[in-house]
Structure 1
């Protein structure tokens, strides 16, 4: 299941059929790296069944799986092999290779070594909620989200997504919640748990981390008064989902709490469907309530409370035009 999520808003008007999505994704089906290929990306079967569908529809939700495979050769090994060839050229011709030829020798060395390199493979889950117009992914790094967004744009030419942004920034809201004198001031349905990270905005960039610690204390409020602002805050919702909210509107360390999966089927055949249905069903309730707790979703062109224009532009929450990458987090090998 998803352990980390980032939520995107799908622009209105995008409503392909399952058949159309399947055909589009099939054009970029994942194929492992060739002998001299250093990277391969593409879409694979979410259930892991060979030649199965590339789009799964469960309880009205659509599930996709993106795969990235890379092969890397240590740079010092490439340079060593290229240097051996350069030394051979100098010894046999008396001519020392120039910069351009040296670069070519390194490229040749890399191509010669790639067939011996072991591939590394990672996957990214994509959940599309067509009714609510949301796209959720668990990509764990900027490079992975770059690959994912590029692939989505390539296979769905009419798809336009923007990173979901709220009227009040998560950092401003987390600051208010941690500064509250009473839990009654926390958003309805949410609890502040026992972990957070505070960071100063000065040159020292000092960081204070609290783990397994009561956060409703004067000590925490004093740090905030001194200028340290929350970048991560552990929360729970309705006793059903625990998560870590970040300043970039990312949900990390998602955990479905006791009782949520009591009805999960034990057989392999329906386990995938049950996991997807239960997980997405819970997140469909959490996401809008979290958005409401952060002041509601920001309309296009508006600026969130607690930021200046320059801060918004620099933030991972800033809206991006069609095709540009946006920050996301999280990776897993199992669905939801």
Structure 2
């Protein structure tokens, strides 16, 4: 259900009921791109029902889904059509179109070709924990998360949300865990890591499916390379990759966490999966924040250097 997790803290001033949220999202419900429309963004039913509710409440957790559709004309096709049109104009009038006219010709060609362009759809799952005042976006990039936040602001005026920051930066903590070979309580270090040099060389070392409790990793850190990605498992139940930006990527639930009931209906499976996924992540997030020194209070800067090893 969730593959990548970006965690935001909702401001204390925001308060909205489930009905108010549903009404706000309905004003920006997803509509497919028109013939000459390049992009369409809007909310769609999390359960996949065409006319279903746009907010699903499962165990006190609110689930939303943002749909994004885009159409694009390949640049090579657009350029070819524009050249053909320019050649026609030259053949009829005896003159070559200027720069401004070529720009107009290209735009006309784009509008003409858009109805024939293939559409591409993608969806982003959004989860609000109203009790904990957490907003979780299943996005793999900051740009995608920002797009979701923009759409949320349109549907939920007054919503304030900031990325969760920790007292100890993920880079510093991950370097300490690798050097000491002592991961925080409840966590284990897995077999994937990325180390980057902070100097002008920008050197990068990546380990994949490789043991990290080796001297070579220690040497890289001693020489100034710092971890920007580290694979971990929490409580033997959830595996993920922690990034330098405090993003949780490649999130996966260990076999046995989800119960496969073939006799369950589609709605029952949705409810069960949502309850289990949000329940596990609700426990993971506080433990991870604690391992990183807790949430950063206002005015406190996160540490950016590896912590010294305890004597």
The correspondence of residues 191-202 of structure 1 with structure 2, limited to 5 A, is 191-202=188-199
When residues 143 and 296 of structure 1 are mapped into structure 2, their CA distance, relative to the original with a 3 A threshold, is closer
Q: How far 1:302 sits from its partner (Å)?
A: 2.1
CA contact (8 A) 2:47 2:267 kept: no
Would the aligned equivalents of 2:11 and 2:159 in 1 still touch at CA under 8 Å? yes
Conserved? CA contact 2:140–2:249, under 8 Å: no
Deviation string, structure 1 residues 263-308 (Cα, Å, up to 9, x no partner): 767512300000010110011111001000000001233210126x
Alpha-carbon RMSD: 1.4
Matches within 5 A, 1:296-307: 296-306=294-304
Partner residue in 1 for 2:243: 246
Q: Does 2:200 correspond to 1:203?
A: yes
Structure 1 residues without counterparts, runs of 5 or longer: 308-336
TM-score relative to the length of structure 2: 0.94
SS at match of 1:86: helix
TM-aligned CA distance change 1:98 to 1:142, over 3 Å = farther
Q: Distance in 1 between matches of 2:263 and 2:250?
A: 24
3-state SS of paired residue (2:303) = coil
Say which structure, 1 or 2, has more relative contact order (CA 8 Å, 6+ apart).
Answer: 1
The superposition leaves residues 108-136 of structure 1 with CA deviations (integer Å, 9 ceiling, x where unpaired) of 00000000011000000000000101111
Aligned to 2:32: 32
Partner of residue 15, structure 1: 15
Cα separation, partners in 2 of 1:125 and 1:176, compared to 1, 3 Å: same
List runs of 5+ in structure 2 lacking aligned partners. 306-311
Shift of 1:169: 0.3
How far apart are 1:259 and its partner, in Å? Answer: 2.7
Q: How does 1:58-69 map to 2 (within 5 A)?
A: 58-69=58-69
Note if contact 1:128-1:135 (Cα within 8 Å) is conserved in structure 2: yes
1:210 deviates by: 1.6
Question: Structure 1 stretches (4+) deviating beyond 3 angstroms?
Answer: 262-266
Cα deviation 1:157-216 (Å, max 9, x = unaligned): 100111111110000000000010x53xx2111111121111111222111112222212
Give, in whole Å, the separation in 2 of the partners of 1:265 and 1:137: 29
1: CA distance, partners of 2:103 / 2:146: 27
